Chains A and B, each alone.
Chain A
Amino acid sequence: MKKTKAIICTAVLSTVMAGAALADSIKPGIVYDFGGRNDRSFNEAAYRGAEQFKARTGVKFRDFEIQNPSQREQALRNFARRGLNPIITVGFAQAGALEKVAKEFPDTQFTIIDTVVDLPNVRSVVFKEQDGSYLVGMLAEMASKTGKVGFVGGMDVPLIRKFACGYKQGVKAANPDAEVFMNMTGTTGAAWTDPVKGGELALSQFARGADVVYHAAGGTGIGVLQAAADQGKLGIGVDSNQNHLHPGHILTSMVKGVDAAVDKTMTDAMNGAWTPGVLVLGLEGDGVYWALDEFNKDLITPEMKAAVDQARADIISGKIKVHDYMTDNSCPL
């Protein structure tokens, strides 16, 4: 008797919850990756997208910052169990956890950013980082006086190599004789939150003659940009527009439209237009772009702008092909 009661209760509850999910007030959830919500870079872009959505629609969202890898699955399952929908997971490292949890909750709409999870209830948003990095690589080389530029990556993973490879191609396109120094901060999650090491890596590249350095290192990158500003060199920001951090010392930022992607996913879910599948965002439609604003307009000469705009158009039209590191795990240069 008791058992049947419990089953009926659960059934009633789940219908109520399903009904709530169908109504226009959705309950979105976000799980951030290492680095956390306020990394001024990748995760923060996702947070900003959600805030935009909230400001426009008044719909509140819940979010969670993981502290260690075992929390990924817990957090996702917890969100799904509470009936949150859609659930957005930020970062490639969440793929394994998402794959498991998405199968357990087939009615929840999941979205993952930066990698592809092939399941009927998952939307995967990926970016053509190589194209954006190519453009900032060209800018870096044109702004460099020494012909030497640097790159500081966070964790040594294929995604970050993709940034590095695109950047290198852009640098070489602007000047085939240019030298590119490449460093990765580490091989664990801590590589995203180590500004001291980021700063030291940047300093060592400056010491070897580099005068522009591009980072793709989340929170570690704050140290890279700080070192560039302290040394009177130029830094290039990533993921979010970081030009305002050190006006006059940040050449540009390679912005990924993570905020737009998050905002769009939530809006789609609210309008019942959410679809699973892979969404590739590139230069077209500003899925990735290089940032030009009042903080860096004095650093970008008209010639630089013209050259980069031309390259951008050529990449979109297919005239320039930028190699994607992740297709074959190697870089032609």
Chain B
Amino acid sequence: MYETLILVLDSTVRLSTPLLFACLAGLYSERSGVVDIGLEGKMLGGAFAAGAAAYVSGSPWIGLAAAILVSCLLALIHGYASITQRGNQVVAGVAINFLAAGLTILLGQAWFGQGGRTPQLDKASRFSEVTLPFADSIQDVPYIGLLYSELISGHNALVYISFLAVPLTWWIIFRTRFGLRLRAVGESPAAVDTAGISVGWLRYRAVLICGILCGFSGTYLAIGQSAGFIKDMSAGKGFIALAALIFAKWKPVNAMYACLLFGFLDAVAIRMQGQEIPGIGEVPVQIFQALPYILTVVLLAGFVGRAIPPKASGIPYVKERT
């Protein structure tokens, strides 16, 4: 029983990581007042770039760099449309999603001729599992050994980076001058402007950070969790991350819990499939597959209370002129 729990939690960590990156990415963007529906598209673009670059170069780190670059470019398109041109942010985000979904398949087919996927990667060009010190030696210690060797050790580097990004984000948002201004620009851009700080530049920086984090998320999907890019591999994770962000009321630590919860539900669904539950018998697969969505709706509707977004979220800033 204890072992099962640890293995489910282990799977939870693996499944939460892409959500967590994307969720934090959305947090920066939305805290600055730019609504980002395009998380999905940036993840997908990043995943494709990571898969392609890692295959060509043979290095996962070059794959990561390429993913960040592509994701940031997509973020800048979003930024240009919604900050400089003051366009509708939701429409711009949707456009990013379409752009990424179409372009990745088109370029993938043109470059590799494998129906939009990138060639399968060998071990050296993927992020492989990191075994933390002493993981093997304390493996046999009851309880703690398993906890440490299975749950904490043995993930790839990106998983650890994603969880380190949580306190870092908290510190940036709530303890630095940049974070204060970021929050202010999402609540009251006019006040920030009056103080002589550029609203546009602040928002551009937020959107770029969002791009970087989405690049990490895509990289994890393509060359951490899998061994290559497959068309539409983000499979709605960007939208789930967005739901997690609302669920978490735009706070970094809550975001981590929300992503872990969604990952946990997913892991349970996978794990419990076709298993007998004591007292009930075998439950149809469909129930477990629907469970994450049902719980999401229930939790969002009843338990978290009102989620209030940053006040200026979604509103382009127009400088007052007299």
Contact = CB atoms under 8 A, between A and B. Distances in A.
Contacts of A245: 120
B31 interface: no
A183 B270 CA distance: 8
A156 B14 CA distance: 25
Interface in A164-195: 181-184, 186-187, 190, 193-195
Contact of B11 (A190, A193, A204, A219): A204
A36 B116 contact: yes
A226 B227 contact: yes
Interface in B272-294: 273-274, 285-286, 289
Size band of the interface chain A makes with B:
20 to 34
B231 A203 contact: no
A184 B270 contact: no
B117 interface: yes
A200 B265 CA distance: 13
A15 B195 CA distance: 80
Interface string A212-240: 00000001001100100000000000000
Contacts of A204: 7, 11, 270-271
B298 to A, nearest CB: 22
B285 A184 contact: yes
B226 A223 contact: yes
A123 interface: no
B11 A196 contact: no
B115 A193 contact: no
B49 interface: no
26 contacts: A36-B115, A36-B231, A37-B115, A38-B114, A38-B117, A39-B115, A182-B274, A183-B273, A184-B285, A187-B285, A187-B286, A190-B235, A193-B232, A194-B235, A196-B221, A196-B225, A196-B233, A200-B11, A200-B15, A201-B273, A204-B270, A204-B271, A207-B4, A207-B7, A222-B120, A223-B226
Interface of A: 36-39, 65, 156, 181-184, 186-187, 190, 193-197, 199-201, 203-204, 207, 219, 222-223, 226, 245
Given A36-B231, A65-B115, 6 more contacts: A36-B115, A184-B273, A186-B289, A187-B286, A222-B230, A245-B120
